[in-house]
Amino acid sequence: MMKFKANEIAKYLDGIIDGDEEATVNTVAKIEEGHKGALSFLSNMAYEKYIYTTDSSIVIVNNDFVPSSPVRATLIKVDNAYEAFATLLNIYQQSKPRNTGIHKSAVIEESAKIGEDVYIGAHVYIGESVILGNGCSVYSNSSVGDKCRIGDGTSIYAGVTIYHECEIGENCTIHAGTVIGSDGFGFAPGAEQNYTKIPQLGNVIVEDNVEIGANVVIDRATMGSTIIRKGVKLDNLIQVGHNVEIGENTVMAGQTGVAGSTKIGRNCMFGGQVGITGHVSVADGTKAAAQTGISGPVKKENTVLYGSPAFEYRKFQQSYIVFRKLPDLKSRVDKLEDQVKNNK
């Protein structure tokens, strides 16, 4: 990381300096592991105790932070410390030199169109009539199937498989081991308890600025498209079934599963291991806690769901209070039954 002074960082973030304007940093560190020359941040007040002991040279904090003890570090106050720190990390990431060129072991079909300033790593396969945009990176052992379109600035990490005719937007990131466009789980039951495979003739469309974690599987549509709208963020180990649509800026934590033909709205948030049944609609702004099971449509926007099967947060809390008291309630009922029997 290049050296930056506190006044330079503050100017970029439109922040206010409290301390030495000439303090410099050349690396980043968690506040509890801070050392001289490091830049840290504090947004979660559970970590406030570390700001009084950290050796970080500069700490980014929220505007409303008022220290209760002396702080050695120079503070830069901003509206949102977490967002500001993320912005600086992106700058740091972009400042790193990126790989360019095409490895000699890569196989690129003659009909493929390769943009400028691309990187194609070892043992990559680029299929017939693929369009690979400018500034793309395709890392080792990845495969891009026939007639795929990959937008400018997209990074495809090692071991990714993108099946034929899928479309990936601009500035997307697809992490290692992910499979996009494999067949949806479509089988027709027969009269003799066997199953006939239903051809999956559609594709997957991933719009711009989507990030997909490692070992994610997004199935192609039976007909039409499975669609991941712009700005979606998918964690590792997620399964998205055929003909699913995930709305803009929705985020999903690891091991979430979405069954086929479900439509998920914008700005939704799903914790780890959430399960969503097929053929339902989930309203914009829905939030589901970890291990929630959504077995029916969610019609009201900004609903917060808990439990399996899922129900609304406040009702879940009320029910949980009753559930915790069940052993005591059972004991009381047993005593009442004994009293009734003894009084006969």
Q: Provide the annotated active-site residues.
A: 242
Peptide bond into 309 cis (omega under 30): yes
Q: Measure CA 282 to chain center.
A: 18
Confirm if 229 and 208 have CB atoms less than 8 A apart: no
C-alpha distances in Å from residue 243, one per residue of 81, 202, 260, 279: 39, 8, 6, 9
Distances (CA, A) of 228 to 203, 275, 308: 11, 17, 25
Are the CB atoms for 178 and 217 separated by under 8 Å?
Answer: yes
- Strands 304-306 and 311-312, by their bridges, are antiparallel
Q: What contacts 24+ positions apart, CB below 8 Å, involve 188-197?
A: none
Cβ-count burial 72-103 (b if 16+ within 10 Å, e if not): ebbbbbbeebeebbeebeeeeeeeeeeeeeee
Residue-by-residue DSSP string for 261-279: T-EE-TT-EE-TT-EE-SS
Burial of 15 (0-12, 13-18, 19+ CB in 10 A): buried
**232 token code pair:** 């979606």
The three-point CA angle 239-243-270 to 5° equals 45
Q: How far apart are CA 256 and CA 275, in angstroms?
A: 6
Among residues 248, 256, 259, 167, the alpha carbon closest in space to that of 213 is found at 256
